[in-house]
Structure formats: C-alpha cells, structure tokens
Structure 1
C-alpha cells in the first residue's frame, strides 16, 4: 500500500510539472508573418493607459498629438480603424493605422512627422496625463511597443509594454512643477531570419519592438523639423504658454484682473514638433515563438513563488482530504455497518434491551460496573409481546432521513441560480484548459474575453438543462417561468451593472466605454442566441429527463430543528468555510491582481500554474462542503440546500476583502471614478466567482447527501432508516 501511495505521489508531481511547463508555450493564433527587405511594415496606434487610473483613452482622441492625415502607409490609410474582436473592444482597444513609415531594413536617422498646434486646454490635458503617468501603446506585427530595461546584475533584459507620454520635474528657481512632452521617438525593430523556406528567400521575422523617448525643444530643430543633433543634450519641449497680453487687454479692458491659468482663455497656442527615428537590428538570441517572454517581468524569480503557491495548496488540500476520508470511511460507513449489525432488522428479528434489571446473584465486579448479563438481550419476532422497551440506536444525521430531501425555501429561485452557475463552471473550465494548452495567450489579443463570451453563450444549453431538471426535482410546475428566470436573471443583472458603470465611463470620454453598437451586439447574443439555447436545454431537462431520485421519502410534517451551536450560524459557517479555499489561492491571486490592476497591458502568462491552483481550489471547496454539510446534518439541521451554496461561495467574501487590502496597500489609484470602477468591478467579479463556487458546493452537497443516505439502503437494506417505534405497551414493534 505504501509503495502504491509513493507511485501515486510521483505520478501526481509529474503531472503538475507537465502542466506547469506549458506556461511559456504559445500557439500563435496567426501564421508567422515574414518581411523581405524594403517591404513596408504597418505601425498601428492603440490607446494610452495608466496604473494610477482605470480610464483609458484612444491615442488619436488626444488633442496634442499629430492627427492622422489619411495617407496610405503599408496598405492602410492613416486613421483607418482596424477590425477588432469582442474581447479587444471590451478591454478598451482602439487600434488605428498611423502615418509612421517603416520599411524592413531601412534605417532613418530622423523623419519629420508634423507640427501640431494646441491651445491651453490641450496643454492642460497633456499635463494631466503626464501627471497621472500615462503610457502609449503602439503595435507592430502584433507586438506592443515596449520600454526596455535590464536587471540589476545586467544579465537579463525585459520589456514593459508602452512608453511614457512625457515627464515632470521642478523648476530650480520657483520650485513649481514643469511638464515636458516626449516629441522625438526612436523606434528599434529587432528581427531574425525567418524559419523554413521563407528564410531561404530572404524573409525576416520581427522578434522585438522597442521605443525610446526624448523631449527636444522646438528651437533646437532645423527647417526640416528634425533636431540639429538627435544624440546631443537638448532642451526639453516644455508644455507652457505665456499670457497673450493683447487678447487679455481687449477681453478685460480697464482692469488689472487676470484669471488663473486653468481658466484663462486668451487664444494662445503652442506648436509641438514631432519627429522619429527608425533602426533595424538583427537579434539571433530570441526565437519568434518566445518573443513575448521579454514582456513577462522577472519570470524566473516568480516561478519559485508559483511553486510555493502550489505546494501550499497541496498541503492544505491533503490535510482536508484526510478529514474527508475519515468521515466517509469511518464515520458514515462505520455507522451504517454498526447499526445494520446491532439495531437493524434481520430475519424479522430485532435486538432489544431489557427494561428491568436482572435479578439474582451477581458478582461484585458486575455490580460495581453496572453490567448486565448478555442473556438479558433477547430476540423477539415483530408480532411477539413483551414488557421490554425498544431502545432506538439512530442518532445524528440518520434522524433526518424523513426531512433531509425536503424542498428548500425559495426553490424557484435556487434552480435558476444553479443553472447559471453550471454555465459559469463550463466557461471557466474551457478557458483554463485552452489557456493551459497555450491556445489563449497574449499574442491572441482579446482572445481570452472573446472565447469566454462564446463559451458562456454556448453553455446556455447546460444552464437550461440543469435548471429545468432541478426545478422538476423540487416539484415545480411552471417550467417556462423557470426558463425565463434562468435566461434573464443572472445575465440581466450582469448586463445592467455593466451598462450603469459604462455611463460613468462614457461621461469621461474613455475608450473603455462600450460603443452603442457593441451594446446592441451583446443584447443580441443574449436574447437571440443564449435565450433559445436555455429554452431548449430547459425543455429537455424538464420533459425528457426524470427528476433526481432520493433514497428516502419525505415526511409530511417537518421535524423540529434543535438549537444550533454558535459556529453553526450562517455567517460564522460562511467565513470559516471560505477561509480554507482562500488560503489555497491567495498567493497566485496576487499575480492575477498585479496583471489586471497594476500592469494594465494584461499579460498574465502562467496559466499552467493557475490551472493547477484552480483545480486544487475546486477540490478544496468540494471537501470543505462535505465536512460542513456532515457537521450540519449531525447537528440535526436538514436545511442544507442554501447552506451548501453559501459554504461553496464563502471564499468570495475573503477575496473581496483581499481586493480592499490590495487597493489600500498596493495601488495608487486617483479619482472618484477610478476608485468606483475598481470596487464595482471587484464586487462583480467576486459575485461571479461566488456563484461558480457556490454551484460546485451545491452539487457536491447534493451528491454527498444522496450518497450517505443511499449507502445503507443499497448495501444494507435491512437498516432501520425508516422510523421504528414501539406501541403504547412496548410489546408490539412496528416499522413504518
């Protein structure tokens, strides 16, 4: 047995290693694009974003950048929008063609782009974006433009997606802040010979896209618009406008009053010249399939932390597994066998204990111990008469056999929730499998959200099926009403919340605001595709599937529930049961939060580790639900239906508290709108997670309860689960 256990552990560790090894494996999603010398390469501009706010803006919506001219470059007219998938739209991408000219192998020391005039409002907007630390995202060959860094020991280089719009310093004279715009960009394209036949024909693939910024004052430029010396130390382009005294004199005659600079409208403008340089450099150290690895900061250092998270999860899950095995193997099964042997019906005979003590000579030892002679236990037929009293040996959870499957309160609300929860379980399982296999990866921009939305809509058929069958098990009659609740309740609440939050984002003119056409598309997916799928699944589950069978019958009169101990109160049970799954995932949760809230480029990559931790978390939730449900039944409380949902979703409470802690200690979010969006989306994500895990808890408790009450009837049909009682005189014994 010990050898088998060691083999099982070795196989488990090998499986974990195999799953985690796919963390850097990418299925591109697109064929490798190669370029020959002098072939035009399109450069697309996307958006600007910051770690200090939740608001993003389209690059060409900024009033101080060069607007698109409409000329064609690499087959695209500048300002032309690129087709986006649903995930890209939802994450705030607004990708457009630009006026930057790039051709494979052609270096440009300096290329003038434009000189753009902007007024005080534009200057104020630029200063605010620089103050908030906004960075711009450009795209070449599906790679985001990156700022290059090296580690402290200078042995590794890594990328940070995006480049800063400008920088801020303070005047050495006045001490006031000054803002400088980065108006000269150096673009470095790193390439490698293409593999296979394309490489033999001179093809090259892009393995790196770096952007280096510089601020150069307009007076240090030649007539062509290019700086006199790009590599020299030049004065920066400060975003500052002096007062237009002539305009102010006409606007405020006979007055020495001047409004503040923020409210000043004197017609002054500033001209910002923009230029860029392009360099192509060969880099044989990076494979095309590994070109995204540079965007994953400190990948090697974080791997040990991910393994620590897995070990922590396995230890907690292993201890909990031992508890569950003890409950099932020794308590449940042992009680069944004991009662079948000592208190059961066997060959129409029962074991009774004498009501009167035995008379006669007894040894001092027997008297001191109060022992009865074994002959005082007699076997009587069911129809025999005796003045002995039956002592029932059914305690704890076995007393609830006539009430444990009683339909819960608000059963018509529980069935749709469980149906929607199964929909989320299917979607999450599919996303984790595809991500761990490398199908969903950063090169598939917006793929995670798009595929998740597709899986959610398709899973409507499973949602309807489970909801309809559970509703039928609860003796429901109006299946069409249940179908509509399943199809409209959870998706409706989700859509309404997102729509209300979208109004606030619209008011800020952010690119994360969903366009009206996208909202109509989401409504069409919901009502024209998902609702019919839910209807079909519910119709089949209600009309063509039998209700779930229960091993015991339900009494007509509910049993009175005794007073429960303090730890069985709902709030304490939820918090205590939810703490254990949270302890399993909290280390990996930190990486997920960093990817979503701190690094808004969204390049989370270790889906292999995340899949393992998620699997262990689900197993932990299953085991916690079994333990908590068994304790509740032993306390003679048969209201386990809703309790199992709350126990399964208990870790969502701790995750939301973790979000609050992360906000106050790790983030530097500024502004009311950004803070509201953070907490709103965090609460929404925790609610979705809670419904998913609550469904897992419900299905687990349902299977467990049916199993333990059905075990005795299947393996020990003589077990006295049916209520047994004596007649008024204690002589006749009858089984209900």
Structure 2
C-alpha cells in the first residue's frame, strides 16, 4: 500500500471516529428525568390527529379548527420524531403535579361554515386526537354521531397515574358532546385527576404493547415453536442434500468405465462437469458484489437492532428511539458493506484481472444503491404528505441532518471498508446437475425471493385483511412495504449466496479433476 493511501486512510478513520462521536451524542441525547415535585407544572403537548381506521393518514393536532396551542414554538423534537414527521406544540392546559382540577377553560371557539363542514367530515370518519404527557401518548375521540347528527366533544378528562414522584400512565376521556350547528359558540374545557398507581416506571409502556406480547410464557412458546419448525426444515433439507451428494460422489461403473471394444473413458456427467466452471466470474460482477455488501450490511443492522432492543428492553424504547438506533447502526455498518463488496470483487479479480480497475465503481454502487432507493420512496411519500397537508412530511431539519450524516459518516465508512477489503484480500445442487454454472446470481435470487413473498403478502394484507382505505394510506403503506421488502430480499440474497458458496466449495473439494 502506498504512503499516500495510508495517509488518506488514517485521515478517513479520524474523520469517521469524530462522526461516530457526533452521532452517538445525537442518539444518547435524552430528555428530562421525568420526576416531579408537588405543584410542579406538567406540560401537555398536542401531537397528531388521524382517522381511527387509517394509521398512516396523520395530520397535525392543531391543523383542525378549534383551540390554538399555547405557543406555536415546537417542542424540541428527538431525531426519531423528526424522521417520522412528529410535531408537538404545547396545549393551553395548566396541569400541576398532584393537584386535581375539574372544569378549567381551555378556549372558546366560534366555527365558520367551512369549519363545521370539516368537523362533520372528521366525525363521520371517526377521527381521534393524540396528546403527549411526560412522553406518554394518549388518544381520545374528536366527536361522535348521536341520533344521526354529528356532535363534537368539548370536555377532556385526563387521568394521570402516579407512582412516587413519576407519571406512569395517562388516559383521556372525551365528554360533553355538543351538536355541530352554525352560530354556536363552543367552550372547550378540561379536568385532571392524579391517581396512585402500582405500575413501576420502567414498565409504564407495557399497556401500549398489549398483555399478549408481554406474557413471558407466550413469548417463550412462540420462540420455541419457531425454533422447532426451522430446525425440522433444516434437518429435512440437510438429509436430502447429504443423501443426494453421497450418491453422486460414490464411484460408479458409469463414471469410469471402459468402452466396449475401445480404450476411451466416459467422464462423469451432470454437476461434476462443472468443476472448472463453478468459480467463474458472474455477469455484472460489480453490481452483484455491491448487492452482497448491502445485504451483509442490512443483516448486521437487523441483528444489532434486535440485540440492542432485547438488551435494553423493548418496553422502554419508543418507535422513535428504535428508528434513531437503526439509522445509527446503518451509518456505522457502512464498513461492512464496503468490506464485503470489495473482498468479493477481489476474489473475482483473481479470475478476471480486468475487474481490478472496477473496484471504485463497485464502491460507488454500494454507496448509492440502497440510500437512493430510500430517498426516492421518501421523496414520493413526502410529496403526497405535502399535498394532503399531513404531518407525515419529514422535517426539513431532520432531512438535512440525515444528508449531513450520510456524507460525514456513511460515505467514509463505505470507503474505508472498501479499502480494507481491497487490500485485505491481497495478503446450489439442482442448477449444477443441469450443468448450469451461473449459480451465483441464481442463489442470490433464491434468497431474495423472500422479499418478493413479503411484498405479495403486504398486497394481500392491505386489500383483504386491513381496514385502511384511501390514496394517502395506500401510498405510504406500499412505500414502506417496498423498502422493507427490498431490505429483507437483500438480506436473504446475501445469506443464500453465502450458504451456496460454502456448499459449492465443499462439494467440489471432493471431486478429482484432471
């Protein structure tokens, strides 16, 4: 390695370490300690509003005609909230810890005809509000239909569970329905009640997960059931492959037999004929290696996220924290993507030296393939969210910060991984039986087909099992399903190719060739 390359690598490593510290600080940034003293003010934030049966169609809490927020200054969002488009403004509610109130006025509001028209539409679609108290969300109905006439709720009763000096539960009940009529003045009120609770603070999110998911016995039975099914399938496939391989490797008279009346020898047929061909370079080797590297990276991201969630406890992590965690792992595992793709390309370059000059192109494909796909899906969904005035639109600040991290962390990580993989190297039975030596792409597609299955199931689920409807929900559901299916397909393709590579090396190690 040249002195210039070593110097560049050192600078990239230093830059990457600095970026890791910066990203770590962003991930570790926590909010307040969630502890209160008697009489201390408790903030209530309005988060979002959505139809009851359409979880993707989300709008800002205060985009609905009614009481304005106490201030239009947003609560400082976490990085995960910025990516998910969450916006929170403080509501005009004055809550003091451990001090109950009954009928406090939030605001008075006289709606116009346009406002009433929107209210009726929202009541017809069963819209629900969501507010946040001490990082705990609580949902409540916007209105209801009484005797065929729409009515809007004007009183909100909050019940806050308290354990010691911490809030461990939040519940909101809508009351006081008033008919939606022109010229009526609506007075919105609220009340709060602090009630003692035995729920530990570290288990306060359990109620959002459901008892079935939290039941330890249920989880162990599910894990054991999945493990036994997979073990049975692996054993069945292994027995079939071992018996087939043993039968094909046994010397038979048809393999080495003398022709009647001659001295010729009939060589084996089928997969043994490919002993010199199975390790040939596949078509479009740069793309193939880039896909393998991306699959290895996503496999690491999934494994690290699952491990971190299990260690820290899924009950204590919100979806926003998991999104932040996944992004951090994705940025840092760019090393894996670059290393795997470069190493595999160097293996192929030993058979085809012309590939040595294509390592930079392979690195570029590894660098832009998956992020470009996510950016395109995100751009399309963002445009739809803007058209519908939905809060699903990503914050400009969050988008800018993601691009900053991609350039500061991800690009150097992939580059360093590619350089390490480049210089480090310098220091499927049915296809083979049909004499098809193009097994690399085939094995990758066999594994990647799991992503196709996942996408087909998503289509079935949306149209036949889901209660969601509307163009907005359809766009977001299938955009997210496409990204998830692509990620699963790349992971499956990487694992399938790795398994096939081990199998091919083992099976052809037993074949004696001239």
TM-score clears 0.5: yes
Partner of residue 701 from structure 1, selected from 500, 504, 507: 500
How far 1:329 moved relative to its partner? 4.4
Corresponding residue for residue 143 of structure 2: 166
For the 8 Å contact 2:154–2:189, the answer to whether it is kept is yes
Contact 1:417–1:490 under 8 Å retained in 2: no
**Offset of residue 509 of structure 1:** 1.0
Q: Distance in 2 between matches of 1:30 and 1:443?
A: 13
What is aligned with 1:733?
none
User: Equivalents in 2 of 1:684, 1:456: separation in Å?
Assistant: 14
Secondary structure of 1:185's aligned partner: strand
Kindly name which structure, 1 or 2, has the bigger radius of gyration based on alpha carbons. 1
- Looking at structure 1, the residues matched to 146 and 88 of structure 2 have their Cα atoms a distance apart, in angstroms, of 31
SS in 2 for 1:186: strand
- Taking the aligned partners of 1:546 and 1:334, their CA distance within structure 2 comes to 38
The 1:472/1:403 distance shift into structure 2, 3 A limit, reads same
Paired residue for 2:338? 464
**For 1:445 and 1:300, how far apart are their aligned partners in 2?**
16
**Separation of aligned partners in 2, 1:641 and 1:514:** 39
1:502 offset after TM fit, Å? 0.9
* C-alpha displacement of 1:287: 2.2
Structure 1 residues 302 and 660, CA, compared in 2 at 3 Å: closer, same or farther?
farther
Whether the 8 Å contact between 1:645 and 1:697 is mirrored in structure 2 is: yes
Matched residue, 1:414: 288
Please state whether the residue corresponding to 1:111 is helix, strand or coil. Answer: strand
Gaps of 5+ in 2: 1-29, 350-354
Q: Partner residue of 1:669?
A: 468
SS at match of 2:399: helix
Distance in 2 (CA, whole Å) between partners of 1:63 and 1:389 is 92
TM-score by length of 2: 0.86
Tell me if structure 1 keeps the 8 A contact 2:292–2:494. Answer: yes
CA distance in 2, matches of 1:273, 1:352: 99
Post-superposition shift, 1:166?
Answer: 1.2
Change (3 A) 1:445 1:99: farther
Q: Distance in 1 between matches of 2:418 and 2:232?
A: 39
Q: Is the 8 A contact 1:45 1:59 kept in 2?
A: yes
* TM-score (structure 1 length as normaliser): 0.61
Segment drifting more, 504-513 vs 303-312? 303-312
Question: What is the CA–CA distance in structure 1 between the aligned matches of 2:87 and 2:95, rounded to whole Å?
Answer: 21
Q: Is the 8 A contact 1:142 1:443 kept in 2?
A: no
1:182 aligns with 2:87: no
User: 2:404 corresponds to which residue?
Assistant: 524
Mark the CA change 1:319 to 1:68 in structure 2 (over 3 Å): closer, same or farther.
closer
Instruction: Determine if contact 1:441/1:447 at 8 Å carries over to the other structure.
Output: no
**3-state SS of 2:341 partner:** helix
What count of residue pairs does the alignment treat as equivalent?
480
Give 3-state SS (helix, strand or coil) of 2:41's partner. Answer: coil
- Give the Å deviation of 1:449: 0.6
For each residue in 1:254-293, what CA deviation from the matched residue of structure 2 results, as whole angstroms up to 9, or x when unmatched?
xxxxxxxxxxxxxxx5432111111111123x22222222
On the 8 A contact 2:206/2:214 being kept in 1, the answer is no
Distance 1:642 1:270, change over 3 A: farther
Match of 1:634 in 2: 433
**1:132 aligned residue (114, 125, 128):** 125
Residues in 2 aligned to 1:478 and 1:274: alpha-carbon distance in whole angstroms = 67
CA deviation map 1:383-409 (0-9, x unaligned): xxxx544343x3432221011111111
Cα offset, 1:334, TM superposition: 6.3
Q: How is 1:297-308 mapped onto 2 (pairs within 5 angstroms)?
A: 297-299=210-212
Q: Does 1:288 align with 2:193?
A: no
Q: Map 1:145-224 to 2 at 5 A.
A: 145=138, 162-171=139-148, 178-193=149-164, 204-215=165-176
1:56 partnered with 2:58:
yes
Q: 1:85 aligns with which of 78, 82, 96?
A: 78
Q: Does 1:273 align with 2:187?
A: yes
Structure 2 CA distance for aligned equivalents of residues 306 and 523 of structure 1: 38
Pairing 1:506–2:394 present: no
Q: Does 1:100 align with 2:111?
A: no
Q: Which residue of 2 aligns with 1:239?
A: 180
- 1:661-693 CA distances to partner (integer Å, 9 max, x unpaired)? 221233222322222322232223212211121
Do 2:35 and 2:166's aligned partners in 1 also have CA atoms closer than 8 Å? yes
1:530 offset after TM fit, Å? 1.1
The 1-side partners of 2:290 and 2:363 are apart by 8
CA distance in 1, matches of 2:413, 2:94: 49
Conserved 8 A contact 2:346-2:425: no
Aligned to 2:421: 541
Summarize deviations over 1:571-590 as a string: whole Å, max 9, x none.
Answer: xxxxxxxxxxxxxxxxxxxx
Are residues 1:495 and 2:488 paired?
A: no
Q: 1: distance between equivalents of 2:215 and 2:202?
A: 21
Contact 2:103 2:189 survives alignment (8 Å): yes
Change (3 A) 1:33 1:500: closer
Q: Distance in 2 between matches of 1:130 and 1:703?
A: 60
Q: Does the 8 A contact of 1:48 with 1:59 survive in 2?
A: yes
Shift of 1:238: 1.4
Cα displacement (A) at 1:513: 0.4
Instruction: Give the deviation of 1:445 after TM superposition.
Output: 5.0
Distance 1:300 1:684 in 2: 26
Contact 1:440 1:447 in 2 (8 A): no
Q: What is the deviation of 1:458? A: 0.8
**Cα-to-partner distance string for 1:562-621 (whole Å, 9 max, x where unaligned):** xxxxxxxxxxxxxxxxxxxxxxxxxxxxxxxxxxxxxxxxxxxxxxxxxxxxxxxxxxxx
Distance in 2 (CA, whole Å) between partners of 1:122 and 1:528 is 47
Instruction: Report the 3-state secondary structure (helix = DSSP H, G, I; strand = E; otherwise coil) of the residue aligned with 2:73.
Output: coil
User: Residues 400 and 636 of structure 1 are in contact (CA less than 8 Å); yes or no, is this contact kept in structure 2?
Assistant: yes
Structure 1 702/521 Cα, relative in aligned 2: closer, same or farther at 3 Å?
A: same
Q: Distance in 2 between matches of 1:469 and 1:427?
A: 20
SS at structure 2 position matched to 1:118: coil
Give the stretch that moved more between structures: 325-334 or 88-97.
325-334
Residues 451-502 of structure 1 show CA distances to partners (whole Å, capped at 9, x for unaligned) of 1011111111111111112122222122212211111122112212211221
